[in-house]
Amino acid sequence: RKEVEQDPGPFNVPEGATVAFNCTYSNSASQSFFWYRQDCRKEPKLLMSVYSSGNEDGRFTAQLNRASQYISLLIRDSKLSDSATYLCVASDAGGTSYGKLTFGQGTILTVHP
Amino acid sequence: SAVISQKPSRDICQRGTSLTIQCQVDSQVTMMFWYRQQPGQSLTLIATANQGSEATYESGFVIDKFPISRPNLTFSTLTVSNMSPEDSSIYLCSGRTVEAFFGQGTRLTVV
């Protein structure tokens, strides 16, 4: 079983749609969670951190359910520029404050006109 | 966040040779990591680059194949040794404060 598991998609949605991505993690010791975005042939870039109380950044909302070991990302009012691969990431604490990151396989989103 | 400059951005190498990839961070970072990403797949952690000591390798990766240096808190290198076509991949370095940030990647093709 993968440590961080995502639905790989692809998700094909029209502009303006709302789309949700789900992610589960198997390591109950995971401490921090993130969503990264990766454009084709580019490096991953942080989209947002995921906090226990849930958090929102403009059109993006992230949720964390520690009991179910489940993370989600909601994108509202999709734009063409949202087309990318979205990576769910979990981090353990390790022996330092900032442990190693484990990446999910990514969910491909294509937003069409 | 900090910026990482990674080079080379791409290379085509003969099998049996070695390639060293360099990453320079514009500020000091505690943690640096090296990842591999196969086409269409997610990132796999190769090792944690420890400043002033030997790197910590993940299962399936060994020092003889992927020697890593980290002489200070702003610089690290990864060498891919005795390359074979199976080593063709994208290699990414990463620094971490709270979140992780990445170099631009090195696209390696072994022929």
Which of A34, A103, A104 minimises the CB distance to B99? A34
Does residue A108 sit at the B interface (CB-CB below 8 Å)?
A: no
Q: B33-84 pLDDT, tens per residue?
A: 999 999 888 899 999 998 988 999 999 999 999 999 999 999 999 999 999 9
Does residue A106 sit at the B interface (CB-CB below 8 Å)?
A: yes
* Mean pLDDT (chain B, rounded): 94
Six token digits for residue B101? 């940030």
Residue B16: count other Cβ atoms within 10 Å of its Cβ. Answer: 10
Q: Identify the band that residue A94 occupies on the pLDDT scale cut at 50, 70 and 90.
A: very low
Rounded to whole angstroms, how far apart are CA atoms A42 and A46? 13
pLDDT of residue B97: 78
Six token digits for residue A103? 């990446």
In whole angstroms, how far apart are CA A37 and each of A3, A8, A67? Answer: 19, 14, 26
Six token digits for residue A59? 């059109």
Does residue A93 sit at the B interface (CB-CB below 8 Å)?
A: no
pLDDT of residue A103: 93
DSSP 8-state symbol, B81: -
B35-49: buried (b, 16+ CB within 10 Å) or exposed (e) per residue? Answer: bbbeeeebbbbbbbb
What residue in B sits closest to A6 (Cα-Cα)?
B42
Cβ partners under 8 Å of residue B80, min gap 6: B18, B19, B21, B65, B66, B87, B91, B108
pLDDT at position A64 over 60: yes
